[in-house]
Amino acid sequence: MTKPHRHCAVCGTPIPLEERTCSDKCQNTLAESRNKVRKTRMIVYTIFGVFIILWLFYVLFR
C-alpha cells in the first residue's frame, strides 16, 4: 500500500500531503493561472454591472 499523498495541482506528480505543488516552476504556473482567472472574472463582473446599469437607465427613463 502506498503512503498517503496528494498530487501536484499543475503537473500531477505525487507530493507530500502538506505541499501544494512540486516545484517553484509549478508554483509560478499555478499563481499565473489564478491571476488570469481573477482578471477574467473581474472583467465579466464589470461588464455585467455596466449592462445592469444601462438596462436600469433604459427601463426607468424611457
Reported pTM: 0.74
Residue 31: predicted pLDDT: 97
**Per-residue pLDDT tens for 21-57?**
999 999 999 999 999 999 999 999 999 999 999 999 9
Q: What are phi and psi of 12, to 5 degrees?
A: 85, 10
Residue 62 confidence (pLDDT) above 90? no
Residue 2 confidence (pLDDT) above 90? no
- Measured CA angle at 53 (ends 47, 40), to 5 deg: 15
d(CA 15, CA 1): 16
14-15 and 6-7 strand pairing: antiparallel
